Structure 1
Amino acid sequence: MSAAGTAGNTAALHRFHSAVNSGDPDVVSKAIDEFVAPDVRFHAPVPMGASGAEALKRVWDVLLSAFPDIRVTIEETVSEGDRVVARNTVTGTHLGVYQGLQPTGKSVSYNEIFIFRFAEGRITEIRGVVDVLTQLRQLGALPS
């Protein structure tokens, strides 16, 4: 892949995250349609009964309902070939039901790392590791 292609993939990921950070479910859904292949392979815990881009939309519906002010800050990216790795910090305020937890009003800040594979300018595969342990401890669901 050319340097221009790698840079284009990184730029696409940044535009996708800008849409995610809008907090608007419709904007997020449209961004998924634009930047993510419909049959994306999503290797992370996802809601049952969905796959591909629809699973990703459900994940964001859950997150936006639970954390309406959720913000994903890209701390760094590494690009090679058809892949972009993003190390992110996620912040938000727990104002809706999440993982069975009633809203606590608590703020969360946790880290995640995702590897995105691109083809023809769209995300075709996602592999992620999210620090859910820190998130759940901050919400009081687990002891510190």
Structure 2
Amino acid sequence: MTGTAHYKRLVLELCRAFNDGKISRIDDYLTPDFADLGVSAGPDWFKSSIQTLRRSFKDARWDVLGLVAEGTTTVVRLRFTGVHVGDYLGVAPTRCAVSVEQVHIYEGRDGRLATHYCVRDDLELLDQLGVRPDTTMVGETKPMRKKKVAVAALS
């Protein structure tokens, strides 16, 4: 079975594997030539990025907010949550709780997921971590700086 319902189920199972920390299950969902289109990387990079998220954010979750599919394409809108406890995007642990929406688009082939593209707001995530790029004009970026934000932090 490789229809729309099958690919929707694969995406939901992938989200469940992420939430449960079962990174070893990811190979069950991806084609050997899987491509993460936002970064032009294969399945090993995709698994590594998931491991980094799980290591950098305690209680990391992808909570599904919506799911639509047509043919072999599945789009999932989700909320990523967690507590920042490890280096991420060059930012040392802040112990800040984060909650950001993301959209992930998967294309299936031969019963597995073959491509992935993600739309996310990394600036919002950095804001919630209490850091952001300090820019003076478009294209001219200064190093990241700490800023005071009203974000829930765990001790």
TM class by shorter chain equals: 0.7 to 0.9
Question: Which residue of the partner structure matches residue 73 of structure 1?
Answer: 63
Identity %: 31
Tell me the TM-score normalized by structure 2: 0.80
Inter-partner Cα distance in structure 2 for 1:136 and 1:44: 19
Cα deviation for residue 9 of structure 1 reads 0.8
Taking only aligned residues, the RMSD between alpha carbons, in angstroms, comes to 1.7
Question: Which residue of the partner structure matches residue 8 of structure 1?
Answer: 6
Cα deviation for residue 45 of structure 1 reads 3.9
2:98 aligned to 101, 104, 108, which one? Answer: 108
Inter-partner Cα distance in structure 2 for 1:55 and 1:136: 22
Determine which structure has the larger helix proportion and give its number: 1
> What does residue range 16-31 of structure 1 map to in structure 2 within 5 Å?
16-23=14-21, 27-28=22-23, 30-31=24-25
Cα deviation for residue 83 of structure 1 reads 0.3
1:56 aligns with 2:46: yes
Aligned CA distance change for structure 1 residues 64 and 109 (closer, same or farther; 3 Å): same
One-letter amino acid matched to 2:7: N
Check whether the contact 2:79–2:102 (CA below 8 A) recurs between aligned residues. yes
Inter-partner Cα distance in structure 1 for 2:117 and 2:92: 29
One-letter amino acid matched to 2:116: I
One-letter amino acid matched to 1:91: T
Check whether the contact 1:38–1:54 (CA below 8 A) recurs between aligned residues. no
Cα deviation for residue 44 of structure 1 reads 2.0
Unaligned runs of 5+ in 1: none
Which runs of structure 1 show a deviation greater than 4 angstroms over 4 or more consecutive aligned residues?
A: none
1:7-48 per-residue CA deviation (whole Å, 9 max, x = no partner) reads: 11101111111111013xxx21x22210011211111247xx
Indicate the structure (1 or 2) with the bigger Cα radius of gyration.
2
Check whether the contact 2:6–2:111 (CA below 8 A) recurs between aligned residues. yes
* SS of the residue 1:63 aligns to: helix
1:62-99 per-residue CA deviation (whole Å, 9 max, x = no partner) reads: 11111031000111111011100001111000011111
Inter-partner Cα distance in structure 2 for 1:42 and 1:115: 10
Question: Which residue of the partner structure matches residue 136 of structure 2?
Answer: none
One-letter amino acid matched to 1:36: L
Check whether the contact 2:10–2:113 (CA below 8 A) recurs between aligned residues. no
